[in-house]
Amino acid sequence: MLFRSVVKEESLDPDVCACCPTAIVKTAKGLLVAYRDHTAGDIRDIAAIRFENGKWTASANVFPDKWKINACPTNAAAVAAKADRAAISWYTAAAGNAKVEMVFSTDDGATFTKPVTVSTAVAYGYTSIALDDDGGALVSWLEKGGTDARIMVRKVDANGTPGAAVQVAQGNRKSLGYPKILRTGGETWITWAGSGGNDKVHTARLK
């Protein structure tokens, strides 16, 4: 289907991090949007808004990291949903601790669990997330690895217990791009950019 026109445009939040990407998914009740908010004092935490019963809810923090930074970090959240279950992962460097966190929701994004830290070293962020068939999530991110960066993937089961972190690739942080993870047909795939002068797009199937 081709979209030929914009039917309606709405402002959902008047003050956000404009350089950070916005993520959106469909839940059992409607739409769930995750993005990096901006509030007084240059606090830039992740917020969520839902579209249910024909209207948008008020913006609500996913978790109060209270990351204060006088710049847009161009590094936001990823969201995935399946029926009424959703998961959001994001990067934060609050209190100087650069990490990637994730939360679950079992009510279409109305409430969230306590965050689980998935990164294992100094994180660069650029996270992506997918829900598996058991109610858990698979999270990818970039983190520091020696003198380079590495793409990491970790499964977090439905009760919030993280599994082993697995390295998918290693290379220059900027060259690796913004890896994306996808769950489809009972399989999980991840794709990323080439590194070190290799401009190819790479894919891998995760087991």
- Reported as a single tens digit per residue, the pLDDT across 81-98 is 999 999 999 999 999 999
What per-residue confidence (pLDDT) applies to 106?
A: 97
Question: Is-above-0.75 flag for pTM?
Answer: yes
What is the residue whose two structure tokens read 């609500």? 60
**pLDDT at residue 195 is higher than 70:** no
Confidence of residue 173 (pLDDT cuts 50, 70, 90): confident
Distance in angstroms (rounded) separating the CA atoms of residues 156 and 117:
10
**pLDDT at residue 198 is higher than 70:** no
**pLDDT at residue 199 is higher than 80:** no
Confidence of residue 197 (pLDDT cuts 50, 70, 90): low
The string of DSSP codes covering 85-153 is EEEEEEEE-GGG--EEEEEEESSTTSS----EE---SSEEEEEEEEE-TTS-EEEEEEEEETTEEEEEE
What integer is the mean pLDDT of 37-52? 96
What integer is the mean pLDDT of 118-128? 96
